[in-house]
Amino acid sequence: MVEQETEIQAIERLEAALARIAAHVAKPAEAERRDDIKDALDRMIGQLRAALDEAERVEQG
């Protein structure tokens, strides 16, 4: 159960980070950095998917 809580916390941290990045993308001053931000989002989405996969594996067994 502790492992599941750890995975849930990791997922929550990733969700919060994605929300912060999305807020920055909305700012006009950040327009020139959008490619960097997109790359960061892509990496974070990959991490989120990996965390979800790990949480599912832990839950199943």
Quote the pLDDT of residue 32. Answer: 67
- Rounded distance, CA 20 to CA 31, Å? 15
Quote the pLDDT of residue 56. Answer: 82
- In order of 12, 19, 49, the CA distances from 24 in angstroms are 19, 9, 22
Q: Assign residue 51 a region (left: φ > 0; alpha: ψ between -120 and 50; beta: otherwise).
A: alpha
Quote the pLDDT of residue 7. Answer: 79
Q: Is the pTM of this model over 0.75?
A: no
Confidence band for 30, pLDDT divided at 50, 70 and 90: low
Q: For 4-57, give the DSSP string.
A: HHHHHHHHHHHHHHHHHHHHHHTSGGGGGGHHHHHHHHHHHHHHHHHHHHHHHH
Q: Is the pLDDT of residue 2 over 60?
A: no
